Amino acid sequence: MQSLIVLGRQPALALAELESLYGATKVRPIGNQAALLDIDPCLVAFGRLGGAVKFCKVLTILKTTEWREIERFLIKSSPEHTTRMPAGKMQLGLSVQGLDVNVRTLGATGLSLKKAIRKLERSVRLVPNKELELNSAQVIHNHLTGPTGWELVFVRDGAETILAQTVRVQDITSYTVRDRERPKRDARVGMLPPKLAQIIVNLATGPLPDDKMSSICDIPADQIIPQPHLGQTLLDPFCGTGVLLQEAALMGYNVYGSDLEARMVDYTAQNLAWLETTYRLEPIQPKLEKGDATAHHWTAPVDFVAAETYLGRPFTTQPPAEILAATASDCNLIIKRFLQNVYGQIPAGTRLCLAIPAWQIRTNQFKHLPLVDQISEMGYNRVSFEHATDDSLLYYRPDQIVARELIILTKR
Site for ligand SAM, rule CB under 6 A:
189-190, 192, 237-238, 240-244, 259-261, 264, 292-294, 308, 310-311, 334
Buried b or exposed e, range 26-44, using 16+ CB within 10 angstroms: bbbbbbebbbbbebebebb
Prior bond of 237 cis (ω within 30°): no
Q: 238 or 253: whose CB is closer to ligand SAM?
A: 238
Nearest CB to ligand SAM, comparing residues 46 and 238? 238
Query: To the nearest whole angstrom, how small is the minimum distance from the Cβ of residue 188 to ligand SAM?
Result: 8
262 exposed, middle or buried (CB, 10 Å; 0-12, 13-18, 19+)? exposed
- In the complex, least distance from residue 407 CB atom to ligand SAM, rounded to whole angstroms: 15
Query: Given its phi and psi angles, is residue 53 left (phi above 0), alpha (psi -120 to 50 degrees) or beta?
Result: alpha
Nearer to ligand SAM, 170 or 309 (CB): 309
* DSSP characters over 187-242: GGG----HHHHHHHHHHHH-SPPHHHHHHHH-S-TT---PPPP---EEEETT-TT-
User: Per DSSP, what are the bridge partners of residue 156?
Assistant: 161
Q: How far is the CB of 255 from ligand SAM (least distance, A)?
A: 12
Q: How far is the CB of 48 from ligand SAM (least distance, A)?
A: 17
When CB distances to ligand SAM are compared, the closest residue is 240
- Of 43, 38, 35, 103, the residue nearest 67 (C-alpha): 103
Cβ of residue 178: shortest distance to ligand SAM, in angstroms?
Answer: 11
Closer by beta carbon to ligand SAM, 53 or else 243? 243
Shortest Cβ 241–ligand SAM spacing (Å)? 3
Residue closer to ligand SAM by CB (options 155, 243) is 243
d(CA 16, CA 31): 15
**Which C-beta is closer to ligand SAM: that of 143 or that of 290?**
290
End-to-end CA distance of the chain: 36
Spatial distance between the Cα atoms of 170 and 174, rounded to a whole number of angstroms: 9
**Nearer Cβ to ligand SAM (181/261):** 261
To ligand SAM, the closest distance from the beta carbon of 308 in angstroms equals 4
